[in-house]
Amino acid sequence: MDNDKIIRNFPWGHNRRFNAFPDYFRRTYGMRMQKVSVDAGFTCPNRDGTKGMGGCTYCNNKAFNPSYCLPSKSVTQQIDEGIEFHHKRYRKAGYYLAYFQAYSNTYAPPSKLEELYNEALAHKDVKGLVIGTRPDCIDDDIIDLLQDFSGRCILTVELGIESCYDKTLARINRGHTFNDAVTAVRSLSSRGIATGAHFIFGLPGESVDEMLAEAGIISGLPLNSVKFHQLQIIKGTVMEEEFKNNPSDFEYFTWDRYLDFIIRFLELLNPAIVVERFTGEAPPRFLERTVWGKKRTDQIVSLIEKRLEELDTWQGRLYKI
């Protein structure tokens, strides 16, 4: 019964049992803002031959890039079409964040980046930027540029880290080490730049215990926010063939196992880190298999919160400094 619920005083200032991104954003900026994706035509150093070819073994950008995102269109046109695309679903979004999402969005000369970022900010409905990139596409000149933008708009740099283990990063053809990620996070944070990170659970060769151990590693980084995704095997990728040939190398989570895992992970995670996502959601036509039925992101969050309440636990309950 509702009257029997225990009221906890969580350090993030609201009653949800994890440090939820929407609540953090409203508290910090006073409103809801929706991301609108932009494909500015970048590539990655593990695609163009600088560090390798073919990109990450799990990656097919078409699986998450909205249909209006085409690099043949200007940044402004993509933002206009993206706002129209999202309008029916997110009517409460008064303003938008331009999300430079596809590939590595700091992988260009600073002058080119400045031009693209400024075009996005010139849009009347855009109040900030989210820059998705790789840890090895961050250097002092890039940080100087990002620091300048962070002083005049809402800005978050979102680093694809994916795993804390070099053996995994090598196997999935990332082309960088975990130490590269640590260096990038600390360098950005030291300049006052809000930094998020993306991790994938279920990558080949990693056990559940290894994945749980990442909570302690992540907790020690000066991150503002994190995104967690379960591994999804996307059709046409190198990983699809690897999965077919060596399925025992993968912890391919069923929903029940993932729910148990993510609760245990949250209990170990630094409560100061904002959680933006628990799962990824690729269109079914791209998936090698669908094991979670028709669960959508909002339903999954509700199920996680329900389970946290049933267990009377929360993010950081077992966290140790």
Confirm whether 229 is domain-assigned.
yes
How far apart, in whole angstroms, are the C-alpha atoms of residue 212 and residue 134? 23
Q: 256: which residues sit within 8 A by CB, 6+ positions away? A: none
Confirm whether 321 is domain-assigned.
no
Confirm whether 315 is domain-assigned.
no
Per-residue pLDDT of the chain (321 residues; tens, 9 = 90+): 344 556 678 999 889 999 999 999 888 888 888 999 999 999 999 999 999 999 999 998 777 778 888 999 999 999 999 998 887 665 666 789 999 999 999 999 999 999 999 999 999 999 999 999 999 999 999 999 999 999 999 999 999 999 999 999 999 999 999 999 999 999 999 999 999 999 999 999 999 999 999 999 999 999 999 999 999 999 989 999 999 999 999 998 999 999 999 999 999 999 999 999 999 888 777 887 777 877 888 999 999 999 999 999 999 999 987
- Containing domain of residue 70, as a range? 2-310
**Structure token digits, residue 286:** 């791209």
Residue 158 DSSP code: E
Distance of CA 109 to CAs 113, 114, 178, 207, Å?
6, 9, 24, 39
Number of domains in the chain: 1
Closest to 22 (Cα-Cα) out of 99, 80, 92: 92
The domain spanning residue 218 has which CATH number?
A: 3.20.20
Closest to 17 (Cα-Cα) out of 309, 311, 297, 321: 309
Confirm whether 320 is domain-assigned.
no
Q: What angle do CA 239, 242, 245 make, to 5 degrees?
A: 155
Confirm whether 317 is domain-assigned.
no
Confirm whether 150 is domain-assigned.
yes
Q: What angle do CA 160, 24, 19 make, to 5 degrees?
A: 75
Distance of CA 248 to CAs 74, 206, 253, 258, Å?
44, 11, 12, 17
Q: Are 98 and 86 in contact (CB under 8 A)?
A: no
Confirm whether 319 is domain-assigned.
no
Query: Considering the entire predicted model, what is its pTM?
Result: 0.93
How far apart, in whole angstroms, are the C-alpha atoms of residue 29 and residue 128? 11
Instruction: Specify the pLDDT at position 4.
Output: 52
Confirm whether 39 is domain-assigned.
yes
Instruction: Specify the pLDDT at position 93.
Output: 63
How far apart, in whole angstroms, are the C-alpha atoms of residue 231 and residue 90? 27
Instruction: Specify the pLDDT at position 3.
Output: 45
Q: 206: which residues sit within 8 A by CB, 6+ positions away? A: 163, 165, 168, 251
Taking each continuous run of H as one helix and of E as one strand, the counts in the chain are 10, 7
